[in-house]
Amino acid sequence: MPKRALSKKHIEEVKTLLLENKAKIEATLNSISNDHESLSNMDLNDDADFAAASRDYSNDIHIKNQQMKELTLINHALFKIEKGTYTGLCEMCDSEITMKRLRVKPHAKYCIDCRSYIDKEKVSIA
């Protein structure tokens, strides 16, 4: 284990946050798919209704994609915690990801520097 890895206590904290976020995302994803089932059963009276409904629909798809992506990262982090390979260190440069950052975004894989580098360079890694 790298020496700057998070303490057990902090890893437990991150794990709790990850599980909470996971439950929230799964609830959101469930409610989105339920909405869509009711949408397809809905009687849409005219084109305007249909346009409004499909606008909501594409917005939902966008949210759904975002949430799915986040869920993948959460599962990735949880998997590493279960395997005991989770360190809380940046997967790119190995520096510490601060607890402050992890409390906001427990599934973060990169430190702020690498994250902003990725955003700036539009490197396509989640």
CA distance 50 to 31: 20
102 near Zn ion, judged by CB under 5 A:
no
> Closest distance between Zn ion and the C-beta of residue 32, in Å?
33
Q: Which is nearer to Zn ion, 19 or 73 (CB)?
A: 73
> Closest distance between Zn ion and the C-beta of residue 115, in Å?
8
CA distance 65 to 63: 5
Q: Which is nearer to Zn ion, 37 or 121 (CB)?
A: 121
> Closest distance between Zn ion and the C-beta of residue 28, in Å?
29
Q: Which is nearer to Zn ion, 26 or 113 (CB)?
A: 113
Q: Could you count the other beta carbons within 10 Å of the beta carbon of residue 18?
A: 21
Q: What is the 8-class DSSP label of residue 106? A: T
Instruction: Render 45-100 in DSSP notation, one character per residue.
Output: -SHHHHHHHHHHHHHHHHHHHHHHHHHHHHHHHHHHHHHT----B-TTT-PBPPHH
> Closest distance between Zn ion and the C-beta of residue 48, in Å?
49
92 near Zn ion, judged by CB under 5 A:
yes
17 near Zn ion, judged by CB under 5 A:
no
93 near Zn ion, judged by CB under 5 A:
yes
CA distance 100 to 41: 45
Residues making contact with Zn ion (CB under 5 A): 90, 92-93, 95, 111, 114
